[in-house]
Structure 1
Amino acid sequence: MVTAQRGKAASSAESASAAQVRVLKKYPNRRLYDTQTSSYITLADVKKMVLDGQTFEVRDAKTSEDLTRSILLQIILEEETGGVPMFSTSSLEQIIRFYGHAMQGVMGDYLERNVKTFGELQSRFTEQSKGLAFSPELWTQFMGAQSPMLQGLMGGYVEQSKNLLTQMQEQMQQAGVIFPGMPGFPPKK
């Protein structure tokens, strides 16, 4: 009976969780349909959902295949091709080189942790400046006063990132794993 109750509780929790996920359907004509608002939407609308922190998933209208990552990558592509890109050509080349490499999973985890840490730093900065009405002149003054703090935060972030990578390298070397051609992983002699 306990198992049945746990099963029902888990089922209820899954149903409640599923009810909170906004479902977008992608049709063969490349249009996105928001099942919550019963209307067609654009990638700009999906980007707004991401910025607003809304939980959603994109499903193929015919097969129900999860297309969320594909849509998010399309948004990143649009952002990279318009305006000021976040990734340099060199950065993109380095990322591509990790695909199919033994370090692919490690690199993915490393990037995810670093992006999360950077987001937390950004949130702290935003929280500190909340409630302040800034004119362009006041913003310049504020940023000038914050520069040492921002440098400290970024310095700490870079140091933490460097330490994490160093620890990963040491652990792999201790395990006897060799990655030829990778900086920090010279072949054993």
Structure 2
Amino acid sequence: MPATANHSRAPGGRARSVELQGKKAQASAVKPAQRVIKKYPNRRLYDTNTSAYITLAQVKQLVLDSEPFVVRDAKSNDDITRSILLQIILEEEAGGAPMFSEAALANIIRFYGHAMQGFMGTSLERNVQAFTDLQAKLAEQSKNFTPEMWAQFGNMQNPLMQGVMGSYLEQSKTLFEQMQEQMQKQTEQMFGAFGIKR
């Protein structure tokens, strides 16, 4: 009789095990793991998800598709994602339609090693995010645009466009004011260190 009881429990236990495995598979299907790309000494990039070599253009496409990924050095396993992203930016800037002027690049370079380097990075990041949010709002709102609305949009008479641009400009103004305030505090601290009052 005990043997029968154990026998009757086993199928139920197996069923529960299969059910749990199914739930785990569903959970992993909902939230995909971060894609890992390995960079080899010969400069080739290997996508471990597809088990195939990929190009820098394909990595750029992953960025455009907002796919989470990390690039690791195949030998040391160091995270080199930033250097690959910078390489993509370099190729884009060397192409036909660069985003940054020489003056803008020179100004960015001047901030390296500067007391305001951290603030400059944060400010740029916030501005890019604000612009990205603006673009997403415009894309969402423009789904229902009529030809007349597009004409108004082109003339900047659309109240929606004025509101969105106003919001972006307000964010930019706030960031600029924060930067000025930070610079003023640092200047006062510097003068204070030398016993000079302003």
Q: Quick check: TM above 0.5?
A: yes
* Alignment gaps of 5+ in structure 1: 1-15, 180-186
* Alignment gaps of 5+ in structure 2: 1-27
Q: Structure 1 residues 155 and 89 mapped into 2: Cα distance closer, same or farther (>3 Å)? A: farther
Q: CA deviation at 1:166?
A: 1.2
Tell me the TM-score normalized by structure 2.
Answer: 0.72
Q: Aligned-pair RMSD on alpha carbons?
A: 2.6
Separation (CA, whole Å) in 2 of partners of 1:95 and 1:171 = 18
Say which SS state the counterpart of residue 99 (structure 2) adopts. coil
Which of 67, 71, 74 is equivalent to 2:80? Answer: 67
Q: CA deviation at 1:151?
A: 4.5
Percent identity over paired residues: 60
Separation (CA, whole Å) in 1 of partners of 2:105 and 2:41 = 30
**Equivalent residue for 1:154?**
165
| Structure with the greater alpha carbon radius of gyration | 2
Equivalent residue letter for 2:164: L
Separation (CA, whole Å) in 1 of partners of 2:124 and 2:71 = 24
Aligned residues: 160
Q: CA deviation at 1:155?
A: 3.8
Q: CA deviation at 1:78?
A: 1.0
Q: Structure 1 residues 65 and 152 mapped into 2: Cα distance closer, same or farther (>3 Å)? A: same
Normalized per residue, the structure richer in helix is 2
**Equivalent residue for 2:103?**
90
**Equivalent residue for 1:46?**
59
2:175 counterpart of 1:164: yes
Tell me the TM-score normalized by structure 1.
Answer: 0.75
**Equivalent residue for 2:150?**
143
